[in-house]
Structure 1
Amino acid sequence: MCGLSVFFARTALITEDKLQCLQRVSDRMSVRGPDSSGHWVSACNRLALAHRRLAIQDLSPAGHQPMSEPSGRYTIVFNGEIYNFSELRSQLAQRGVVFQGHSDTEVLIHSYAAWGLDCLSRLRGMFAFVIWDAVEHVLFAARDAFGIKPLYWAQDATAGGVWFASQVKALAMALPRMTESAAGRAGFLIWGHIPEPFTPFNEIRALPAGHYLLLRAGETSQPTPRRWFDLGASFIEWSAASSFRPKSEADLCDYVRYSLLDSVHAHRIADVPVGVFLSAGLDSSTLAALCAEDGSNDNLRAVTLGFSEYRARLQDEVPLATELAERLGAKHTVMWVSKSDFLRDFDHILDVMDQPSIDGANTYYVSKLAHQSGLKVAISGLGGDELFGGYGSFRQVPQLAALPSFLQYLGRPARALLEPFLLNWKPKLAGVLEYSGSYERAYLLRRALFMPWELHRVLEPEQAAEGLAALSTLPQLRSSHASVSDGQLKVSLLESQWYMRNQLLRDSDWASMAHSLELRVPLVDLEFWRRMAPLRLKPTRVSKQVMAQTPRLALTLEQIRRKKTGFAIPITRWFAESINEGEQNLSGGLGFRHWAVNLYPRWLQTIKK
């Protein structure tokens, strides 16, 4: 896990002030890579690369970046991990490639040299990288299929320039002027995060997950990201190609166990200790038990976060996590977080929060604990709910989508009638009829903080209208699930490409990197999803309950039957209680809506030149 920064002057030579600017961009990300830093300028003086390294694979100088392969044609900066690098290394060695070290970065650059764009489909891992071809004078930038690792870009007003960086706040250091994005603010108020490719600023865009950019020296055309991976189409392909048909429940459990162990093993490969985030949930408990079985790293080390407000209550995850850690023989560390801790740390949380988010503080604290425990890598259970149908949305969205579509025509008059009575109770309830009859409408109603019709109360009407037009929310949601017909799979695609990608994965990146910690997600793995694809369709429909039966050391009935609880709830209440209550009626009450309305302007204040 690292931080990369790039400046490409497509129509002129790089000036000294741009190199100084690149240094400032890189410095803003020093916490992402405290182990070493490097800079490189191409012989043609058109491209400059900078890198901050958190050394995980091959801790020697042979893993230093920016890295060039022996011929000097290709040079790379890379953020992430390639989990199948040993397999790719063997394939490349058979083609005559001679390696200088043992890093996955070296394997990646040779993979691109050997296979070009097709290398992307061979990679198992999380990645964002930029490669320079000194012969063709072409820059290639790419991002992993799920969007686990971030990559942002912006155009420069001079020299046909294009900037890249791992963080929005770092990239902002390169831009002399930025304007607030209406789509960014409107998107944040709707979702509690900003949906990609938008960011808080018009000048900065996210390279979308599963996309790449190809830029050529001398060209001045608008950079256009191109898709290399489509999750919906891949699900159909994976399901059709699979020959596995379980003959019994035991057969099904064995298959899921093998697939999980394979992903866990791949995600524990490192030259440093790998720990695990352990809560009382099924995802992290299952992964912790499987990590204890896996012999690819040292003895299991687990970290658990507890909230003082929840101590000895139903929401307290510490007792069950502690019990499981003892049964696994893990070295277990617990951190208790109180309201006073959060208020003390709030300014720092805002400073390291790369984009506005109503979530992420929980990951910030458990990552802090992992770092204090001496870990550089940790396993997270993120992704289990999206794949195995663990959210209430898997029940609620199909129900709403199944309602007759003609009810939408009654919806707007019904909303106008009901909204004044529901504003300070359950304001979204007024839109049930209007947002029924399709998966995209039902999903928006289920996940939104503020519905589109409410934005005029928290934004200037012109800004709300501009933002909604740019977001094109319903058509974008529809395109996320239109390729499949199965209702549960539709919800899985919506949750994984919206909530998981734009909220959970993005928050996991900034919150873990704030403590120089690499976070790995075995349940968000292409090979694992490929194996699970046919099992998410009828009649098999594998669930989290099957997943929880896979470890040899069985989880207790209390763990398996434990009701899912809201991990971040006290933090939103602490924030709401600590600020001016004058915004309460404006946002429709406390909780996430109140948090969102007040958080955004505070986040904007953290942007410093």
Structure 2
Amino acid sequence: MIGLVGTDVGAIEAFDSWRDRLHHRGPDDAGTWRSTCGRVVLGHRRLSILDLSEAGHQPMVCASGRYTIVFNGEVYNFVELRRELEARGHVFNGSGDTEVVLAAFVQWGEACLSRFNGMFAFAVFDRGDASSPATLFLARDRAGKKPLYIARQGGALAFASELKAIPDRLRGGFSPDALNHYLALGYVPGSLCILEGVEKLPPAHAARYRLDNGAFETWRWWKLPRLEADEKVPVEQLVDEAEALLHDAVRLRLRSDVPVGVLLSGGLDSSLVVASAAHASSSPIKTFTIGFPGSRLDETGYAEIVARHFGTDHHVLPLPEPSLAVLDELAPMIDEPIADSSLLPAYLVSKLTVGHVKVALGGDGGDELFGGYGDYTTAMADAARFGWMPPVAFRLGARLAGSLAPGVRGRNRLSALRGGPFQSLVWGTPYFDATARRRLLSDDMLDALGDRLMAPELFRLGLFQTGQDPVDAMTRTHFGSILPDDFLVKVDRASMAVSLELRCPLLDMRLIEFCFGRVASRWKVQGREGRRLQKMLGERLLPRKLDIERKQGFSIPLNEWLRGADAQRTRHLASGLPRWFKPCEVEALRAGHANGRANGGRLFALMMLDLACRNLGQTRN
């Protein structure tokens, strides 16, 4: 979706070309709507999933003509909301969810957001009346599954689902603060955008723009509940509740007017989604597993156990020998950079799956909700092992580690312990920590940042400090940063690049609030065991033969590839990056990697930044 408000006629005439930069997100239909006042134009590219008829066309105008909506995503409880709205007198022409979202806004105004269970970003233009001014309302879902970029300049405002669709004249040069965060985290978080003049609407936020005076405000409309676990509740009751919530989350996400499948890795998250899908469906569920023959990444055997147990219509999709060559195919899609190299296999998985179904369910979100990351058990073990050490010892060790060159074995591990074991996910990074950024960035960039150099670490520290205990703090940190700004961005880009809709049942709003508000931390992580509650659920629902203890990441061997045939891809990095980098330090990273240091992730981060520079017209100057 895309929109321009308060802009000039010339820009409006070129609008469709900007809209069609999002063709991959919606190849089935396109629409443009212009207001009678001539100051608003809204556009949409449609991926038809619900109500394939003309009744689902967007932009969509309500019966009175006052409100017009463009909507990206799905509201899964639209059937229940439709019944409630019909009881209040609303009449519907089609059978899709966009019409329900628009009617909900007409009925409840901005308060409608709390009623939506889904993934969404949308905009509603209200032409106003004699007593209220014309406004544009924008909103984004709780977890941040669907993106929304906003640019403002003078009296003009533009918004779009991707940065590439924001008109050039509203985009500035690279933002020093966003670049600093990208180098530290591997993604650009929160409201920051890699280009000045553009911002992202953060997850669970809404915004309002008044056309009469240009006033613009944003606010958070939802936040994670405070952990208030009742220790007297038997764990069996918690498992019962988790099972019921998961079953209903999956049931809602099977609603579709096109074929739906489940991405099945054979891991705990995806296997539980398959179990719930089989529970909800009267016919065999389509499941898809990616095969890596002869590779340690191959999970087809585990997936086969689950598929056979639930009688699914199972498909093994053989993946060609992976390499960085796939980056050439994905390159045109890169605008705001993301350093997560698992974007590449995620894209290949989406590309293979979309040949069979148009909608797929995945297992994203389970680690954050149930305590599944290895960081958590490592931190617990380190706390038990090093808990006797005073804080000053951790800070001293981190300082000594920082004096080592990036890529030296053990450097990241020691640097991450700056704030103690539980804050390792705050201070640790596989990319560029503060010491490495001081080496890499030019003096004028460091002067421009000043005290803000540490902003990425302080951003995560702020999230960490919202927790009630170490486990709660670690899961909230991941939910508030790496999930919405890395993992969900990766999922959205990889799937939308091939016009596949990916749904995440584990990020159902009720499951999120249950896990963060009512599940005690000891039922997530205790000692060296993570996912305790989720494993109990797995023991109840999954075949006994399945190894639910295993944890397989979706990674690629970057270090090896960038020392082999793909090493030439980094040869001209120093000349392609913005002027804020010291070319000698970029070359030192390359040389260190060639000599055995582990700089693959750092070099890939710079490669993705280089791609973004070229695609966004940000050449070195």
Q: Same fold by TM-score, threshold 0.5 exceeded?
A: yes
Q: Which among 581, 595, 607 is matched to residue 604 of structure 2? A: 595
Is the partner of 1:148 in helix, strand or coil?
Answer: coil
Give the counterpart letter for 1:560 in structure 2.
Answer: I
Deviation at 1:401, TM superposition (A): 7.7
Q: Which among 145, 157, 160 is matched to residue 162 of structure 1? A: 157
Partner residue of 2:488? 505
CA–CA distance in 1 between the matches of 2:297 and 2:338?
23
Give the counterpart letter for 1:142 in structure 2.
Answer: A
CA–CA distance in 2 between the matches of 1:71 and 1:272?
31
Contact 1:397 1:491 in 2 (8 A): no
Partner residue of 1:125? 118
Contact 2:171 2:195 in 1 (8 A): no
- Decide which moves more: 99-108 or 390-399: 390-399
Partner residue of 2:576? none
Is the partner of 2:337 in helix, strand or coil?
Answer: coil
Matched, 1:350 2:331: yes
User: Structure 1 pair 590/421, CA: closer, same or farther in 2 (3 Å)?
Assistant: closer
- Decide which moves more: 462-471 or 282-291: 462-471
| Counterpart mapping for 1:142-541 below 5 A | 142-157=139-154, 160-171=155-166, 173-175=167-169, 178-221=172-215, 223-231=216-224, 234-236=225-227, 239=228, 246-247=233-234, 249=236, 251-295=237-281, 299-307=284-292, 311-339=293-321, 342-359=323-340, 360-373=343-356, 375-397=357-379, 407-409=390-392, 414-421=397-404, 423=406, 424-432=408-416, 434-436=418-420, 441-464=423-446, 466-467=448-449, 469=452, 472-538=455-521, 540-541=523-524
Contact 1:189 1:596 in 2 (8 A): yes
Partner residue of 2:573? none
Q: Which among 555, 561, 565 is matched to residue 549 of structure 2? A: 561
**1:343-368 per-position Cα deviation (integer Å, ceiling 9, x unaligned):** 44322212223432222112111110
Partner residue of 2:583? none
Contact 2:242 2:511 in 1 (8 A): no
**1:527-580 per-position Cα deviation (integer Å, ceiling 9, x unaligned):** 122233455215654863543554776334442133x13321335643553034
Contact 1:353 1:511 in 2 (8 A): no
Partner residue of 1:116? 109
Is the partner of 1:225 in helix, strand or coil?
Answer: strand
Q: Which among 90, 94, 102 is matched to residue 97 of structure 1? A: 90
Deviation at 1:314, TM superposition (A): 4.1
User: Structure 1 pair 187/8, CA: closer, same or farther in 2 (3 Å)?
Assistant: same
**1:564-607 per-position Cα deviation (integer Å, ceiling 9, x unaligned):** 13321335643553034754346753331222133311332123
Deviation at 1:80, TM superposition (A): 0.7
Deviation at 1:181, TM superposition (A): 1.5
Give the counterpart letter for 1:138 in structure 2.
Answer: T
Contact 1:197 1:207 in 2 (8 A): yes
How many residues of Structure 1 are paired with residues of Structure 2 in the alignment? Answer: 582
Contact 2:5 2:39 in 1 (8 A): yes
Deviation at 1:220, TM superposition (A): 3.3
User: Structure 1 pair 73/274, CA: closer, same or farther in 2 (3 Å)?
Assistant: same
User: Structure 1 pair 530/343, CA: closer, same or farther in 2 (3 Å)?
Assistant: closer
Is the partner of 1:372 in helix, strand or coil?
Answer: coil
Deviation at 1:415, TM superposition (A): 4.3
CA–CA distance in 1 between the matches of 2:262 and 2:94?
28
CA–CA distance in 2 between the matches of 1:494 and 1:188?
17
Give the counterpart letter for 1:114 in structure 2.
Answer: Q
**1:272-308 per-position Cα deviation (integer Å, ceiling 9, x unaligned):** 1111111121101111122122127x6311222233x
CA–CA distance in 1 between the matches of 2:554 and 2:432?
21
Work out the percentage of aligned pairs sharing the same amino acid. Answer: 32
Is the partner of 2:90 in helix, strand or coil?
Answer: coil
Matched, 1:49 2:68: no
CA–CA distance in 2 between the matches of 1:261 and 1:245?
25
CA–CA distance in 1 between the matches of 2:549 and 2:467?
31
CA–CA distance in 1 between the matches of 2:308 and 2:521?
38
Contact 2:334 2:611 in 1 (8 A): no
Deviation at 1:87, TM superposition (A): 1.4
Is the partner of 2:288 in helix, strand or coil?
Answer: strand
Gaps of 5+ in 2: 571-586
User: Structure 1 pair 364/323, CA: closer, same or farther in 2 (3 Å)?
Assistant: same
User: Structure 1 pair 342/329, CA: closer, same or farther in 2 (3 Å)?
Assistant: same
Contact 2:286 2:312 in 1 (8 A): yes
User: Structure 1 pair 553/481, CA: closer, same or farther in 2 (3 Å)?
Assistant: closer
Partner residue of 2:134? 137
- TM superposition score normalised by structure 1: 0.88
User: Structure 1 pair 529/177, CA: closer, same or farther in 2 (3 Å)?
Assistant: closer
- Decide which moves more: 493-502 or 528-537: 528-537
User: Structure 1 pair 363/414, CA: closer, same or farther in 2 (3 Å)?
Assistant: closer
User: Structure 1 pair 324/414, CA: closer, same or farther in 2 (3 Å)?
Assistant: closer
Is the partner of 2:124 in helix, strand or coil?
Answer: strand
Partner residue of 2:615? 606
Contact 2:122 2:139 in 1 (8 A): yes
Deviation at 1:406, TM superposition (A): 9.5
CA–CA distance in 1 between the matches of 2:401 and 2:207?
47
User: Structure 1 pair 452/328, CA: closer, same or farther in 2 (3 Å)?
Assistant: same
